[in-house]
Amino acid sequence: MSIVVFDPDRTEDVDWRDRMRHPAADDPSGGMWLSDTEPSFIDTRRLRAERLGRLRDWMARENYGAVVLFDPYNQRYATGSRNMFGYFLRNSTRYFFVPVEGPIVLFEYPQSYHVSMVLETVDEARPSKLVWSSVSGRDSETVDPFAKEIADLLITHGQDSMKVGMDRCSHIQAMALERQGCEVIDCAGAILTEVRAVKTSEEIKCLMASMAGAESAVAAVREAIKPGVSEQELFAVMYHEVIRQGGEFIETRLLTSGQRTNPWFNEASGRKVRPGELVALDTDTIGCYGYFSDFSRTFRCGPGSPTREQKELYRFAFEQVQYNMDILKPGMEFREIAEKAWKIPDRFVEQRYTSVMHGVGMHGETPFIAHSMDYETYGRDGVLEPGMCLSVESYIGEKGGNEGVKLEDQVLITDTGIELMSRFPYEEDFLSGEL
């Protein structure tokens, strides 16, 4: 790869093929210097302002006085604040009070207030009332002080509404808030579907940057595939490049080889790759700026050429992804997409992927578009809108078959159709020539 030529005002220049270093960096070791708070080609103040504005517009429409956010993804969406992300995914002890108007208050882990107080979106930091309660068995002691403090803030800043949205909390915290006179609403689903589903212009730039980093990681994996390398070694190559490119973590370990590619959803193991076998992966990456990159590719370990069976599997998967991307346009109902989607050949139906496509934002989000045969179980009503981002899925593998192929691309819904966000090429050896 060449040294990057990167114009910070043009996101179309963010490309995995030559993304090796930041232009302002003297360090030639590579990677982008990207964060939520440091200057870059993303206007991070605008990013935070637009996201908070969307959240507050929805709160005003639904007559919320405030929301209390425990989910680190929602916290980051509303404020841009990030602190010990993985830890707080499992420890709901850090939370934000976000009123429909007025000051935003962070209830923070001790001694780490400074991490977020540099942000214009965070007006005040206080010690969390819930720190350690979940691991010390003191929930009953902390719940009333927690509820009293939130209720007092709501009375002061809730614009005469005592309706408070909670995206994640224990039932005893909700009950304590109700004892304080609050109307407690579970708002996690609404934030995802009504607030975060349509991306702002700055979010789209973040998604583009994240995708470029993930593609660079997949390119590194492709280069590292050789007989004798293990699945875990290849996964480590991918993870290393994700971090080097300014990404954060990978949500899954979906990188497998040979017979472990069938069925899908096995995770990386110590198995050694043998010549002639398929290697399949799904990026599932929380990348630059905390935005998701989700595409899949399947490769072959050389030497030699793909078998007839490998080519057939690959071409079916390729056809499914291309067909389903081609039908997309704004205004389509989710059920219509499911009904018009590529018809999976009978022998591959049982091991079909779990969705036709799904939304992408800070992680896998709405919409989730089920297969027509699964729609009554998993399907949801809705309409495609410009600014939605989706990953279009395919897994082709016959039950009892030797191998399977996983392919997936990420697209942005535009005013007229789609824009392809994932640029990583397909394998010509699988697509060229006769079977």
pLDDT tens track for 59-102? 999 999 999 999 999 999 999 999 988 888 887 889 999 999 99
Q: Is the pLDDT of residue 138 over 90?
A: no
Q: Is the pLDDT of residue 373 over 60?
A: yes
Q: Is the pLDDT of residue 139 over 70?
A: no
CA-CA distance, 319 to 339, in Å (whole number)? Answer: 17
Q: Which amino acid is located at 43 in the chain?
A: D
pLDDT tens for each residue of 218-252: 999 999 999 999 999 999 999 999 999 989 999 99
Q: Give, to the nearest 10 degrees, the angle between helix 44-61 and helix 201-224.
A: 120
Q: Is the pLDDT of residue 35 over 80?
A: no
Note the CATH number of domain 44-195. Answer: 3.40.350.10
Percent of the chain with pLDDT over 90: 79
Q: Which of 4-18, 123-137, 284-298, 376-390 has the lowest mean pLDDT?
A: 4-18
pLDDT band at 406 (very low <50, low <70, confident <90, very high): very high
Tell me the whole-structure pTM to 2 decimals: 0.90
pLDDT band at 204 (very low <50, low <70, confident <90, very high): very high
pLDDT band at 9 (very low <50, low <70, confident <90, very high): very low
Partners of 66 in the β-ladder: 99, 164
CA-CA distance, 286 to 412, in Å (whole number)? Answer: 17
Per-domain residue ranges of the chain: 44-195, 201-431
SS3 per-residue string spanning 50-92: HHHHHHHHHHHHCCCCEEEECCHHHHHHHHCCCCCHHHHHHCC
CA-CA distance, 234 to 277, in Å (whole number)? Answer: 14
Tokens of 317: 């998967």
Class of domain 201-431: alpha beta
For residues 124-150, average pLDDT:
81
Q: What is the pLDDT of residue 134?
A: 57
For residues 387-409, average pLDDT:
98
For residues 44-53, average pLDDT:
95
CA-CA distance, 235 to 187, in Å (whole number)? Answer: 36
Percent of the chain with pLDDT over 70: 89
For residue 362, count other CB atoms closer than 10 A to its CB: 23
Higher per-residue pLDDT: 21 or 159 = 159
For residues 163-177, average pLDDT:
92
Q: Which amino acid is located at 240 in the chain?
A: H
Neighbour-count burial of 62, counting CB atoms closer than 10 A to its CB (0-12 exposed, 13-18 middle, 19+ buried) = middle
pLDDT band at 15 (very low <50, low <70, confident <90, very high): low
Q: Is the pLDDT of residue 20 over 60?
A: no
pLDDT band at 28 (very low <50, low <70, confident <90, very high): very low
Higher per-residue pLDDT: 90 or 1 = 90
